[in-house]
Structure 1
């Protein structure tokens, strides 16, 4: 299941453009981590749509990206009224990531629903708060069957489904398969062993990695890897599998060079270009 490779003469457009819809006043860093991962995995261009109050700061922190200010709620979340503008920007992109650093679940749920109504034929990754309205968006998700990847850990999956976390942890492989088939999404159920399931019933597990990956911001980098790989042309299942593996392998290399505990999420993406060079 190789990752699509650009031709020797291809430029950044050939490797795809990613739109990251992310961030809040309290979590600019989540957007930075996700966007860095998008670029480190080889996507060609990066654009952010973020709350207006952080757009300038994010643009200064990420000189490789375009940072576009969106209308925001009083709490600092992207307002649902921004959906039309975001959808227009997404139309120029190869893949879209929604969720890192979006703290207001109610506002984010309204925004995600509005975007699912407007976005057509684009691969999407839903992460963090963007996943919480999954049950309410069943009909909207059906329009995007096979094109969406969701990336919950057990606690987020429990919140998505209205179940106890212990029930999810009792049989994570079965839950990942169930959700993938019921909602038509690719599911990455994160944990010490991650379970990846496709809407056709196919499933994989990956225990590659180590306990040090359980650190603040690590999930943002994984979501960025998957989105960047989709922008390069990988289908959602393939992008999810490679993203999980690259995330784990980066953690293993950091454990060897830094130590098992204490390496940072910001260091994870920096390991990936060398891993890809060796493997691809």
Structure 2
């Protein structure tokens, strides 16, 4: 077990972006997420990707919330797509979204999306598409078939909590909680992906069986939208040029340390996921400048 701490981070420097660097050089992100009932998840993830240092942002969401989301995140190009009856993104949008993948460095699928089958179908179409972009899957998008992810080994990052991990491995939540290390390794090997098992002791497993642990952050991170923020940070770092494992390690650390900072200034519980966003570049500056 490898501890995620400052000593490890010194061996995994973030891209420096020295000299004259344009937006494209800092990476292009596509966030696919949101729904009629949960548009804010896509907002949190999108802003988190920018706070992690990505240069350009596109957001794909349902048509009825696209204008509001574009106003809330004026830095993004926002596209609205047809909706399913329950207010999610119609899987038919996959043709258009696959074309966008070719122009992106990292893609996040899942935050705030509704309809497990529809989201899985959309994630599957994206995973099948041949491109170099790092694929980050969260929430309902984690139901993407294992074989499709294994076909692009090491190029996807999965961010389940215990309940989602249980669904991913066709087991129950109690079994995951009883042996989180074994289940994280199993998921990584089955999917050929980097797996971030979110908990008070967050684990990162690789397809080679390596296991990393982060124990900071505190109970305040167990709040609505926190996972969306983490997924966005990882995606932003991957877009900047971090290898998927490096993006996952730094993403977990930045997210956790942002929570630790808010614990000191606000309290152990009660801070909001949106408040993590402003802390992310401050944590990076403290460790990189």
SS of residue matched to 2:282:
helix
Which residue among 235, 240, 243 is the counterpart of 1:232?
240
**Is the aligned partner of 1:145 residue 2:153?**
yes
Which residue among 34, 38, 41 is the counterpart of 2:45?
34
Q: What is the alpha-carbon distance in structure 1 between the residues aligned to residue 63 and residue 204 of structure 2?
A: 35
Q: What is the alpha-carbon distance in structure 1 between the residues aligned to residue 237 and residue 67 of structure 2?
A: 27
After TM superposition, which residue ranges in structure 1, 4 or more long, deviate above 4 angstroms?
none
Give 1:233 deviation, angstroms: 0.3
Correspondence for 1:263: 271
Equivalent pair of 2:105/2:132 in contact (CA under 8 Å): no
**Cα deviation 1:198-253 (Å, max 9, x = unaligned):** 11111111101100000000000000000000000000000000000111100000
Correspondence for 1:112: 123
Which residue among 163, 168, 173 is the counterpart of 2:176?
168
Equivalent pair of 2:86/2:114 in contact (CA under 8 Å): no
Correspondence for 1:53: 64
**Is the aligned partner of 1:24 residue 2:32?**
no
Give 1:143 deviation, angstroms: 2.0
Equivalent pair of 1:188/1:196 in contact (CA under 8 Å): yes
**Is the aligned partner of 1:205 residue 2:206?**
no
Q: Which runs of 5+ in 2 are unaligned?
A: 1-11
Size of the alignment, in residue pairs?
A: 277
**Is the aligned partner of 1:221 residue 2:229?**
yes
Correspondence for 2:138: 127
Q: What is the alpha-carbon distance in structure 2 between the residues aligned to residue 152 and residue 247 of structure 1?
A: 15
Equivalent pair of 1:18/1:43 in contact (CA under 8 Å): yes
Q: What is the alpha-carbon distance in structure 2 between the residues aligned to residue 119 and residue 227 of structure 1?
A: 18
Correspondence for 1:65: 76
SS of residue matched to 1:262:
coil
Q: What is the alpha-carbon distance in structure 2 between the residues aligned to residue 168 and residue 12 of structure 1?
A: 41
- 140-149 or 189-198, which deviates more: 140-149
Give 1:119 deviation, angstroms: 4.1
SS of residue matched to 1:254:
helix
Equivalent pair of 1:84/1:118 in contact (CA under 8 Å): no
Q: What is the alpha-carbon distance in structure 1 between the residues aligned to residue 130 and residue 226 of structure 2?
A: 27
- 190-199 or 65-74, which deviates more: 65-74
Give 1:32 deviation, angstroms: 0.6
Q: What is the alpha-carbon distance in structure 2 between the residues aligned to residue 229 and residue 270 of structure 1?
A: 16
Equivalent pair of 1:121/1:144 in contact (CA under 8 Å): no
**Cα deviation 1:152-205 (Å, max 9, x = unaligned):** 011111112221111101111111111111210000000000010111111111
**Is the aligned partner of 1:247 residue 2:255?**
yes
Q: What is the alpha-carbon distance in structure 2 between the residues aligned to residue 198 and residue 231 of structure 1?
A: 19
Correspondence for 1:2: 13
**Cα deviation 1:43-67 (Å, max 9, x = unaligned):** 0011001111111111011111110
Equivalent pair of 1:186/1:197 in contact (CA under 8 Å): yes
Give 1:132 deviation, angstroms: 2.3
